[in-house]
Structure 1
Amino acid sequence: MTDTLILAAILIPCLVIAIVFHEVAHGWTALALGDTTARDMGRLTLNPIKHVDPVGTLLVPGALALFGGPVFGWAKPVPVNANRLNNPRYGMMAVAAAGPGTNILLAFVGAVLVGIASGLATNWGTQLPEFAMTAFGAFILINAFLAFFNLLPIPPFDGSHILGGLLPRRWARHWQQLQAFGMLLLVVIIAASWAFPDARWIENTVWPPVEWMSGLFFSVADSIARFLA
């Protein structure tokens, strides 16, 4: 029980920071490109309460965890009006890419910070507490996972908006129509992953690039620590 509480104390803040910055990045990018919707609705804030979706953030992951299924969840999407963007087609691509891009940046910042902290600790004849090392590692992994998970070209993920902007216009219109079924597709993915846990579709698709990027950032942290030690 104690180990579970400690793990929750590490993972929950990391997850909240990753999700909140991800969503706010969408809103700030939209604002920079001409859409003030997120700002007008008070969503350009780092207050996590503003980004909680009762179903996606609480009910669904809680129920899946309770019944032993793979845990999925989502935050309340930041509202974006594509028609108000300076260039709706490519503007939506930029808005979509801002979320995963921010998570990658956060993972890099986490690697730099743990490298500095570890190097200075060694220089002072001590070591970072295990709790701190676990927290930094979890922060890097969570942000890397969120980045690549959201880049999946499946509605309503960010990758689907990026793909829509890359498709020829006649195909993009049909692809855009699929966005209306995004939540249904998400439910199907959750149900399929739960019903066939051995298939490990998400893990086999997302985890290889997550491992590669996390390994790269851990190497950065190690290099910084060695330099400062």
Structure 2
Amino acid sequence: MEQIILNIALWAVPVVLAITLHEAAHGYVARMFGDPTAYEQGRITLNPLKHIDPVGTVLLPGAIVLMNAVTGAQFPPFGWAKPVPVNFGRLRRPKQDMLWVAAAGPGINFVQAVIWVLLGSLLLPLISNPGGLEMMAALCRNGLMANLVLMLINLIPIPPLDGGRILVSLLPMKAAWQLSRVEPYGFFILIALMYSNVLNMPLRWAMDSVARFIFLITGVA
């Protein structure tokens, strides 16, 4: 039981940070490009209580951690927060600016992944206690994995995921309109892909590739 509680604690900080900063980044960039909706509603904040969704931020990641503890699986927890309100009609150039608003979430997750790797490389050599060393290593590893999972799942090109909005921004108007019609069904498509295990191998390959790239640019072995 103590090990399960410790596992939840070591995942809670990086998962909440990953989800909170992801949503705040959307609102911040939207404001930069002319839409202050999230700012007006107090959603451009690092206060996780403003972003927490009971199911997506608490129950789902917690259930994955418990499942891992019981089964011995190593699937990284993921989830979602309350979506930051973005009124694309208030952006200065709605179709073009949508790309930057959508990319801000995965972008901040990539930055956090880099920070967790650098934090581990700086702190781990300073810890002599084996127990403390193991916990810090697990925390940094969890931070890397949580951000990679959230970034890569959100980059799947299906609206309303960020990757879908980026693709809508890049496509010609007619094709963009046709893709945007998928949005009401996007999450159902994602759930079907995940439960059918279609995403397992591509996601693992992508996580490994991005992690290797981060180790390369940071110089961390």
Same fold (TM over 0.5): yes
Deviation of residue 216 (structure 1)?
Answer: 3.3
Match of 2:213 in 1: 216
Return the TM-score normalized by structure 1: 0.82
Select 1:104's aligned residue among 110, 118, 121: 110
Structure 1 residues not aligned, in runs of 5+: 224-229
Q: Deviations over 1:154-181 (max 9, x none)?
A: 12210000000111111111222222x1
Match of 1:56 in 2: 56
Match of 2:38 in 1: 38
Contact 1:114 1:221 in 2 (8 A): no
Contact 2:31 2:39 in 1 (8 A): yes
- The alignment status of 1:18 with 2:18, answered yes or no, reads yes
Distance 2:200 2:13 in 1: 23
One-letter code aligned to 2:190: I
Which has the greater radius of gyration?
1
Deviation of residue 221 (structure 1)?
Answer: 5.8
Contact 2:113 2:147 in 1 (8 A): yes
Distance 1:64 1:6 in 2: 14
Contact 1:104 1:144 in 2 (8 A): yes
Q: Deviations over 1:124-174 (max 9, x none)?
A: x77761100110111011111111110001122100000001111111112
Distance 2:99 2:192 in 1: 28
Deviation of residue 73 (structure 1)?
Answer: 3.0
Match of 1:157 in 2: 161
> Aligned ranges for residues 130-145 of structure 1 at < 5 Å?
130-145=134-149
Distance 1:72 1:102 in 2: 15
Distance 1:140 1:61 in 2: 15
- In structure 2, do the counterparts of structure 1 residues 66 and 209 end up closer, same or farther at CA, with 3 Å as the change threshold? closer
Structure 2 residues not aligned, in runs of 5+: none
One-letter code aligned to 1:132: M
Select 1:115's aligned residue among 121, 143, 146: 121
Deviation of residue 85 (structure 1)?
Answer: 0.7
Contact 1:111 1:221 in 2 (8 A): no
Could you say what the CA RMSD is over the residues aligned between the two structures, in angstroms? 2.7
- In structure 2, do the counterparts of structure 1 residues 218 and 137 end up closer, same or farther at CA, with 3 Å as the change threshold? farther
Deviation of residue 185 (structure 1)?
Answer: 3.4
Q: SS state of the match for residue 141, structure 2? A: helix
